Amino acid sequence: MRSTGLATFHEDVQLAEKPVIVDFWSPECPPCRRLLPILEGLSNEGIPVFKATIEDEPELAQHYGISALPTLVLFKGGEVVDRLVGLTSKERILNFYNRAA
């Protein structure tokens, strides 16, 4: 699992060949920290997961209308296809991802 931002977003997300999850999060957000091990596990299983810290990437968060944390945004072909808001389960994230895969 890697961080992404304005400098690498095009390459990491918009040009990705398969669907990509971007986790908009903050280190100050307890639900975000609780979601981290789930996302790391999914990344280790081969699902592309990128993190975008709202403090470091406010323009990116604003562009995608992030208003609550954590927010998982699913991209396919560089376009937003779905989003999940709030702390959620591994199973729900897998279903979320597999709908676009």
1-16 pLDDT tens trace: 888 887 889 899 989 9
Sequence-ordered alpha helix ranges (H) in 1-101:
9, 30-44, 58-63, 90-98
- Farthest-apart Cα atoms in the chain, separation: 32
CATH number at residue 40: 3.40.30.10
Based on the residue annotation, tell me whether 29 is a catalytic residue of this protein: yes
Domain boundaries, position 64 = 2-98
> Is the full-model pTM beyond 0.85?
yes
Give the CA count within 13 Å in the CB-facing half-sphere of 97: 21
Based on the residue annotation, tell me whether 46 is a catalytic residue of this protein: no
22-80 pLDDT tens trace: 999 999 999 999 999 999 999 999 999 999 999 999 999 999 999 999 999 999 999 99
Q: H-helix or E-strand containing 80?
A: strand 79-85
Given 20, 32, 39, 42, the catalytic residue: 32
How many domains, in total, are found in the chain? Answer: 1
Given 16, 29, 87, 100, the catalytic residue: 29
What does the alpha-carbon distance between residue 87 and residue 71 come to, in Å, rounded to a whole number?
Answer: 9
